């Protein structure tokens, strides 16, 4: 039997296995190697800050999943991959593979900002738990909270902080700092940008635009022009980069730090190793894939089809179709208070309770129903 190794038990990695199970591909030995023992439903994670959701309801035990879906699980961090030797190196041990899928995702990018270690990150479920407990520990007389980055994560964090404070009947000064002149720099949609600023400003959030963060100190944040903002709690939402493994895949070429793949999502120049999800730079017919869970799931389905062909001795021939290109944003962004903004393409945006209902349906019901119910 062929040996398939999948690195990363996030959206992309688990979806490859699910798609193989759905297709009835069982003449292959699958091993999932993941740094975390849990799948984390990160996309709903910011609501852990406001206690609308609990982390334990957004995690799925990969050990349990391995018993349902019949794969081997190793909880370990992969240190290095050698595409010529077809080996995967762990801290303790090494594996050989016939087919490889690298899906180790992304990680917060601090852009070498001084004092970055003093900021709370906003990436994993444990980050949102930590932000929640830090907020509750802050002095009650109008503390200052600075969020660095006005992408969708930074804005959702701001929304959930204001919701938590409102539920606790506490006041604080919440400032979102953004290097660009507008919010949501990754989503070119002016109506959505306006709606997001209006919705958050109405909840008391202040915006500081056009100056990036230069340095983070214990009780302040210094901006590029040397000005300082007081801060009792600084949260970093300034963007992501490829996970460390990207630069330790021997034989892969990188674009902006991400692993380059061809149209079938094979790592460029390889015929048995795929890279998908946030880790991969996917560019097909002039479209570049957005770093999103929804796109990661689609890429996993393409790869599973290709693996099914390879297991039957055929060449992988399924070409991926990018459903979430960067220049046509499709996203639901929560702005708190039971409302969300739907962004569809460069012009359309709408805000309301129905949009929030939709977001919940997708982020929770759709994502969780991929796995057997507990």
How many chain residues are in contact with ligand FAD, going by CB under 6 A?
A: 33
Candidate list 160, 232, 262, 278; residue touching ligand FAD; CB under 6 A: 278
Q: Residues with Cβ < 8 Å from 25, sequence gap 6 or more?
A: 304, 307, 308, 311
Q: Is 293 in the site for ligand FAD (CB under 6 A)?
A: yes
Nearest to 177 by CA among 135, 223, 215, 137: 223
Find the binding residues for ligand FAD in span 54-93 (CB under 6 A).
Answer: 77-78
Q: Phi and psi for 50 in degrees, rounded to 5?
A: -90, 0
Helix ranges (H only) for the chain are: 11-22, 62-69, 125-137, 152-167, 190-201, 293-311, 353-360, 367-368
| Nearest residue to ligand FAD on Cβ basis | 10
Eight-state DSSP code of residue 28:
E
What is the nearest approach in angstroms of ligand FAD to the Cβ of residue 134? 17
Q: Is 223 in the site for ligand FAD (CB under 6 A)?
A: no
**Stretch of 103-111, 134-142, 177-185, 214-222 contacting ligand FAD, by CB under 6 A:** 103-111
Q: Is 34 in the site for ligand FAD (CB under 6 A)?
A: yes
Candidate list 4, 5, 12, 267; residue touching ligand FAD; CB under 6 A: 12
Burial class of residue 138, CB neighbours in 10 A (0-12, 13-18, 19+): middle
Cα–Cα separations (whole angstroms), residue 49 to 117, 121, 133, 225, 339: 20, 12, 8, 31, 16
Candidate list 277, 325, 329, 336; residue touching ligand FAD; CB under 6 A: 277
Nearest to 367 by CA among 6, 8, 10: 10
Whether residue 63 contacts residue 20, with contact meaning beta carbons closer than 8 Å, is answered with: no
Candidate list 121, 132, 243, 302; residue touching ligand FAD; CB under 6 A: 243
Nearest to 108 by CA among 218, 243, 275, 287: 243
Candidate list 104, 132, 189, 306; residue touching ligand FAD; CB under 6 A: 104
Whole-number Å distance between alpha carbons of 104 and 102: 6
Candidate list 245, 303, 311, 342; residue touching ligand FAD; CB under 6 A: 245
Between 243 and 306, name the residue whose CB sits nearer to ligand FAD. 243
Burial class of residue 313, CB neighbours in 10 A (0-12, 13-18, 19+): exposed
What is the nearest approach in angstroms of ligand FAD to the Cβ of residue 328? 14
Candidate list 6, 153, 192, 335; residue touching ligand FAD; CB under 6 A: 153
Between 68 and 140, name the residue whose CB sits nearer to ligand FAD. 68
Binding flags for ligand FAD, 312-351, as an x/- string (CB under 6 A): -------------------x--------------------
The residue ranges that bind ligand FAD (CB under 6 A) are 7-13, 33-36, 42-43, 45-46, 77-78, 103-105, 123, 153, 243, 245, 277-279, 291-294, 296, 331
């Amino acid at each position: 039997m062929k040996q398939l190794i999948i690195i990363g038990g996030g959206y992309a990695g688990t979806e490859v296995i699910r798609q193989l199970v759905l297709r009835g591909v069982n003449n292959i030995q699958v091993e999932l190697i993941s740094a975390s023992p849990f799948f984390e439903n990160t996309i709903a994670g910011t609501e852990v800050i406001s206690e609308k959701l609990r982390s334990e309801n957004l995690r799925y035990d990969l050990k349990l999943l391995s018993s349902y879906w019949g794969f081997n699980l190793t909880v370990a961090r992969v240190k290095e991959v050698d595409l010529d030797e077809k080996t995967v190196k762990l801290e303790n041990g090494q594996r050989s593979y016939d087919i490889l899928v690298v899906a180790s995702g992304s990680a917060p990018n601090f852009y070498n900002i001084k004092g970055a270690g003093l900021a709370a990150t906003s990436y994993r479920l444990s980050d949102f738990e930590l932000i929640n407990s830090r907020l509750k520990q802050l002095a009650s007389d109008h503390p200052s909270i600075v969020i660095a980055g006005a992408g969708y994560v930074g804005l959702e964090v701001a929304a959930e902080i204001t919701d938590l404070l409102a539920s606790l009947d506490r006041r604080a000064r919440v400032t979102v700092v953004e290097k660009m002149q507008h919010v949501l720099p990754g989503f070119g949609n002016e109506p959505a940008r306006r709606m997001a600023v209006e919705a958050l400003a109405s909840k008391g959030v202040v915006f500081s635009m056009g100056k990036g963060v230069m340095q983070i100190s214990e009780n302040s944040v210094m901006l590029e022009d040397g000005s300082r903002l007081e801060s009792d709690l600084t949260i970093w939402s300034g963007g992501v980069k490829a996970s460390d493994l990207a630069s330790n895949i021997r034989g892969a070429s990188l674009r902006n730090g991400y692993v380059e793949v061809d149209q079938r999502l094979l790592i460029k120049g390889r015929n048995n190793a795929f890279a998908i999800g946030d880790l991969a730079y996917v560019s097909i017919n002039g479209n570049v894939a957005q770093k999103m869970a929804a796109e990661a799931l689609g890429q996993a389905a393409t790869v599973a089809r290709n693996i099914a062909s390879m297991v039957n001795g055929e060449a992988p021939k399924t070409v991926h179709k990018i459903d979430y290109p960067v220049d046509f944003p499709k996203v639901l962004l929560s702005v708190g208070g039971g409302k969300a903004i739907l962004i569809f393409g460069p012009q359309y945006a709408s805000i309301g309770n129905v949009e929030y209902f939709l977001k919940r349906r997708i982020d929770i019901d759709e994502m969780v129903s991929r796995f057997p119910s507990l």
